[in-house]
Amino acid sequence: MNPNFPYRLAIFDMDETLLGPDREISRENVDALHQLRSIGVEVVIASGRHHINIAEFEDTLGFKGWVISAGGAVVRHAETQELLFEASLPQEIGLELFHRGRAQNISLIGYHRTGIFCDAPSEWVSFYAKRTHQVPIADIPSLIDTGLQKLIWTTAPERIKELTPELQREYQGRAYVVNTEHEMVDFLNLEANKARATQELAAKLGIGREQVIAFGDGNNDVPLLEWAGMSVAMAHGRESARKAAKKISPPGPAGTAVARALELLL
């Protein structure tokens, strides 16, 4: 173990953390991750994105390992496909949220182990697809019946801002409700978040909490940033993430914030 870096497991969010504003991983950030791996640190991507979508970035990273996807609902190894953890949205809650969202004319996106699907095309589904790929139409209730990793409501940001606190109060103790993007609110199993997923992985690897370091920028990173032995929020990230983390990345371009943070820590 490197005495200047006493951590064995490093967890990285993707959007606005590893990925810059151009939705690419900078060479500086890639090199920083490889430096960690060279000193024996297990490097893991933890994203709200689907496992399939995260896998597309692995050519850039140059390695395949454990991946935490769907905001912490799934832990799967990218190379062996071993499934360590999966927490589906309860059927009753999923169907309730589906019908409620549809009644309010909110666009619906479902994460299933087979892919990402929408209830119907809309401007908000098209906006979402710019980050990933085309989102095919499917019968969302049937996906809920077979295990939905998460359900997304997406609509105008001002409406999401108004709805989120109300939904969090209403579903407290029943589902994990988190505002991930200005135009989106995600609904997951109460046990599905990046902290819980990391705990499962750390236990498998025999790594203690004090040996885990996490990097993130968003609301869905907060449980992980609070739980990890060491955590770094991106200086350009959400206020909630900056408050939850032990450290803040040095100022500078968003696309290389991870590299700057690791340079200081190492």
Query: Do 81 and 197 fall into the same domain?
Result: yes
What's the mean pLDDT in 217-221?
96
What's the mean pLDDT in 128-137?
86
Element (H, E) at 128: helix 123-129
Q: Give me the pLDDT at residue 2, please.
A: 66
Kindly state whether residue 1 falls inside one of the protein's structural domains.
Answer: no
pTM of this prediction? 0.95
CATH code, 232: 3.40.50.1000
Percent of the chain residues topping a pLDDT of 90:
90
Sign, CA torsion 8/34/66/216: positive
Domain that holds residue 21: 9-86+192-265
d(C-alpha 74, C-alpha 84), whole Å: 8
Query: Do 203 and 72 fall into the same domain?
Result: yes
d(C-alpha 1, C-alpha 103), whole Å: 55
Q: Which of 188, 219, 244 is the last residue of a domain?
A: 188
d(C-alpha 14, C-alpha 57), whole Å: 10
Query: Do 252 and 121 fall into the same domain?
Result: no
Rounded to the nearest integer, the mean pLDDT of the chain is 95
Q: How confident is the model at residue 215 (pLDDT cuts 50, 70, 90)?
A: very high
Query: Do 217 and 95 fall into the same domain?
Result: no
